[in-house]
Amino acid sequence: MKNKSLISINDFTKEEILRVLDLAGEFEQNPVQSILEGKVVATLFFEPSTRTRLSFESAVNRLGGKIIGFSDSASSSSTKGESLKDTIKTVSNYSDLIVIRHPIEGSARYAGEVAAVPVINAGDGANQHPTQTLLDLYSIRKTQQTLENLNLFIVGDLKYGRTVHSLLMAMAHFNATYHFISPKELRIPQEYKLFLDQHGLKYHEYTDFKDIISDADIIYVTRVQKERFSDPIEYEKTKNAYILKNSMLQGTKGNLRILHPLPRVNEISVDVDDNEKAYYFTQALNGVYTRQAIISLILGL
Ligand code: CP
């Protein structure tokens, strides 16, 4: 994995994914170390972020490295017309690793092709968010003691939700059964269903959320991605399609955990937060350990 970019979750084999998760477990036991001393990581965020950017920065700081970068592209020379290629080639000179979030699908792949250092995709449009997926897998394994043969219920914006797309692909290594719950406008795109068909995996699609979650091991709730809609009326129609309430968790399995990549808008009622099955804030914490593991493996430390 040394010097390898992470653009799509499919860039890592099953064995590499499991290696990340095992190492993340070691960082959870011992998160403060000085293995990144002398290393510089650049975080280039052309889109807003709280968890991804700050957990990357926390991960680097706790390992003794240094962070450079921007959290708002308006403060970068892209506003003066600099191309992504020139930005990446320049930042390659200043850093050992680049973490990029960008609204355009394929931009991270392009950055990886022009950079002189490894690149990590921190979200490219509606395409992929592979480090989120690795922390999701870490969270699923930690709460279920396995990744194999789980009933995975994925709720919300399955069309634009990049975390859904990369999670779906990663869970294909572990024989998941998928239950997709979305408004018809935000269904899982055909290309992902084709992927599941090619892997011989079972999936079911629903538009109604009630009365179907009693078999769930994981419910993965997602926000309707307002920023991806070209028509604001379409967003208004779908934004409150599903709201998970505490009362709906009665009769669910004891091992069920509720995950959400966050940020949350309305799709999980705050009355779920105190339920022992709510795991989304710990999931966000797991992002630090998982990103420590990813960075140290890519930098070969
Ligand atoms: N999960 C996630 O990507 O959150 P942020 O947008 O806050 O980084």
**b/e sequence 76-108, b meaning 16+ C-beta within 10 Å:** bebeeeeebeebbeebbeebbbbbbbbeeeebb
Question: How much is the pLDDT for 143?
Answer: 98
Q: How far is 284 from 115, CA to CA, in rounded Å?
A: 29
pLDDT digits (tens, 9 = 90+) for 232-266: 888 888 888 899 999 999 999 999 999 999 999 99
If asked whether residues 277 and 142 sit together in one domain, one would say: yes
52 is catalytic: yes
Would you say the CB of residue 261 lies under 6 angstroms from ligand 1?
yes
Domain count, the chain: 2
39 is known as an active-site residue:
no
Q: What is the CATH number of the domain that holds 179?
A: 3.40.50.1370
On whether residue 1 sits in a domain, the answer given is no
Q: Please report the pLDDT score of residue 229 as a whole number.
A: 86
Same domain, 68 and 159: no
Q: With a threshold of 0.85, does the pTM exceed it?
A: yes
What pLDDT was estimated at residue 35? 96
Pairing state of beta strands 151-155 and 97-102?
A: unpaired
Query: For the chain, which ranges sit under pLDDT 50?
Result: none
Q: What angle do CA 114, 117, 119 make, to 5 degrees?
A: 75
Same domain, 87 and 145: no
293 in the same domain as 211 = no
**Same-domain pairing of 16 and 89:** yes
* Confidence (pLDDT) at 215: 95
Please indicate whether residue 227, judged by its CB atom, sits closer than 6 Å to ligand 1: no
CA 33 / ligand 1 centre spacing (Å): 25
Q: DSSP letter for 187, please.
A: P
Would you state the pLDDT for residue 66?
A: 98
* CB 118, CB 92: distance < 8 Å: no
Q: Which domain holds residue 69?
A: 9-128+287-298
Does one domain contain both 134 and 280? yes
Are residues 258 and 243 located together in one domain of the fold?
A: yes
Query: Do residues 280 and 145 both lie within one domain?
Result: yes
Structure tokens, 212: 């179907």
Q: What is the pLDDT of residue 231?
A: 84
Q: Does residue 3 lie within any of the structural domains?
A: no
Looking at the structure, tell me whether residues 110 and 136 fall in a common domain. Answer: no
146 is catalytic: no
Looking at the structure, tell me whether residues 137 and 273 fall in a common domain: yes
Report yes or no on 45 lying in a domain. Answer: yes
Ligand 1 atom with least separation from CA of 53: 8
Q: Does residue 258 share a domain with residue 119?
A: no
Would you say the CB of residue 52 lies under 6 angstroms from ligand 1?
Answer: yes
pLDDT in tens, 85-138: 999 999 999 999 999 999 999 999 999 999 999 999 999 999 999 999 999 999
| Interacting residues of 197 by C-beta distance below 8 A, sequence separation 6+ | none
Whether 101 sits among the annotated catalytic residues: the reply is: yes
Same domain? For 173 and 237 the reply is yes
